[in-house]
A and B are shown apart, each in its own frame.
Chain A
């Protein structure tokens, strides 16, 4: 069995680690015939999996029809129901009729009783007053957990609803209540339909959505994950409001995607408009408004997106193929520098060290909590190496600093070949950059610092020249952030070289 066969076999059987995956990707990149074989073997693998699948697909038809009935408004809205037991199959139409009957019985019975009681007598008035007081007190308890006109129309295995600290399994037709939190697993999704209107919430994998109590309209707390929303027209006095740890989106009638990430909230609107603003107080301490103006909502229209994140002004951006919710967001770099080392010429998009020297220049970034990507082009114009010095390296470095520096350097060691390195952590040799010429060609660099759990972060780097950007990162390593949470400086550095840094940009990627 050849190495490539081993790798493909490993992929099909789910046993490929990232290093092997990279090796396989490199093989495929070099050989289109091999790539076709790989794709065909994968397709065959899926067909075989399907063929031998033992799980029944019999409920597929029912699921489609359930969705269509909801879409056609065949279900009754605003009614009271209890969650059924797991595995109990109830036809949705029958269920709707039962609910309808129950609602009718309760309302007419209650009305008769009230008409009998309410007569012009002191007893009647006293009873009315007592009932009034009870109603006021009881309302709090009743509405705390009252039924919503929202029904789960699709739920993968593992979707749950947390209700009064109990975990309930979710199923199609599950009626949601105020205070419920719907959770989707990392590999599952759910769809919620509001009855009597064309409003659908599509919860992506790994989402937590809470249905909050609200006097007017719908109020949903997106605690984590992504939801895609198709909103029917909402009355002006009863809007749909979606709240994330950082932001608030107020909906009139539209279609959009809202993503609550750990340090930012992204909104992309494909139809209609959404009023979007930063949380004024940060209900859970994560409010990220940068200035007073960020508390004012911006209207994100069809074809636009906006991001609420620390350090990023709240603005709308056009969704294009190159720039959308999945694309990193440009961060404004303050090109003014307080640190005065000689011979730096700063004239964005160019920043130059005009004389061969080992110096650096640091620039401010907004205090940003999320993950960051830095990209740009660098030319080493000339080199003046003093081999008598202990540090006879030549090259450049681009870095982020948050107390400690995380630098990505391209250097040629005193006695060695050029390397790309994440300083003091990891390095790979570079064949592309000429070893001994005094001037290097333009190098394009990318350097990402992606925050992980706790104080860990993944640092990745790549460098390329005329060959075009490699898809994969060349270096990747995990670092400790040493207790500092905000990356706030961009550092450009030269080593015994004169360099031109061109179009250096920073982006928020999470």
Chain B
């Protein structure tokens, strides 16, 4: 199987034993054309650029935002900043890569600001969390994309009962009491089961990511 992987084109990377792949960042001629027109002054063509990358950028950001900070906020600022700096972008290179560096820097600045705020208000737990997030963003600039794919794959491996519990909890951020009511269990039992699922998912995701990295080597 590893031999097969080495034959894969460079634009895809192995992430899953179930043959799921993530596309690497290749210039998209349609988007590059839009960027060229934006550079020439056609602001409205930036719509295509935002449309093409905003979901991907959100996925990149969402897992690393501290509590209360919306990934949309940072993605929004990243797109605006990228527009301001668009003349510095070299056509044909990798717009998403360039954009994600801008977003990453904004995210790190936000995490630093958040850390400082939490430290000043003695919210040590939030401060620790923000510190951990900042460290992981600095250490693994691209990992969220793989993580999203791995998480989806791991969710599919869950039992239907676990899947529906996750959905019940995360759909509209339903409070635990309501989730417990919905599935006919006590709050304590629901909490226990939910946390067990979270840990199982974490283990599974780590396994997949490690396997992916091993395969890369």
Contacts and interface: CB of A to CB of B under 8 A. Distances in A.
Interface of A: 1, 5, 8-9, 11-13, 15-16, 21-22, 24-25, 28-29, 35-54, 57, 60-61, 63-65, 67-69, 71-72, 74, 154, 187, 189, 326-327, 460, 471-473, 509
Contact of B195 (A9, A16, A48): A9
A24 B191 contact: no
A72 B80 CA distance: 12
Nearest to B179: A13
Contacts of A57: 54-55, 58, 72
Contacts of B74: none
A35 B132 contact: yes
Contacts of B80: 64, 67-68, 71
Given A24-B125, A29-B128, A44-B151, A8 B54 contact: no
Contacts of B55: 57
24 contacts: A5-B195, A9-B194, A11-B125, A28-B125, A39-B129, A43-B144, A46-B64, A48-B166, A50-B62, A52-B170, A52-B172, A53-B170, A54-B172, A57-B72, A60-B75, A64-B46, A64-B80, A67-B76, A68-B80, A71-B83, A71-B84, A74-B43, A326-B120, A460-B122
A125 B158 CA distance: 88
Contact of A21 (B84, B125, B199): B125
Contacts of B141: none
A1 B195 contact: yes
Contacts of A509: 120
Per DSSP, chain A at the interface is helix
A35 B117 CA distance: 20
Given A21-B125, A46-B62, A13 B68 contact: no
B18 to A, nearest CB: 18
Interface of B: 43-44, 46-47, 50-51, 54-55, 58-59, 62-65, 68, 71-73, 75-76, 79-80, 83-84, 116-117, 119-120, 122-125, 127-129, 132-133, 136, 144, 147-148, 151-152, 166-167, 170-173, 176, 191-192, 194-195, 198-199, 201-202, 205-206
Contacts of A13: 176, 191, 194
Contacts of A74: 43
Contact of B63 (A36, A47, A53): A47
The 10 A-B pairs of least Cβ separation, nearest first, read A39-B132, A52-B170, A43-B63, A25-B124, A9-B195, A25-B125, A471-B124, A21-B125, A50-B62, A472-B124
Contact of A36 (B43, B64, B132, B151): B132
B108 to A, nearest CB: 15
Contact of A47 (B120, B147, B192): B147
Contacts of A460: 122
Contacts of A61: 47, 50-51, 54
A69 B47 CA distance: 11
Contacts of A25: 124-125, 128
Given A50-B59, A187-B68, A37 B202 contact: yes
A460 B172 CA distance: 38
A29 B116 CA distance: 18
A60 B76 contact: yes
A13 to B, nearest CB: 6
A71 B80 CA distance: 9
B46 A68 contact: yes
Contacts of B166: 48, 52
Contacts of B151: 44, 47-48, 51
Contacts of A72: 43
A330 to B, nearest CB: 16
B43 A68 contact: yes
Contacts of B205: 44
Nearest to B126: A21
Contacts of A63: 76
A69 B43 contact: yes
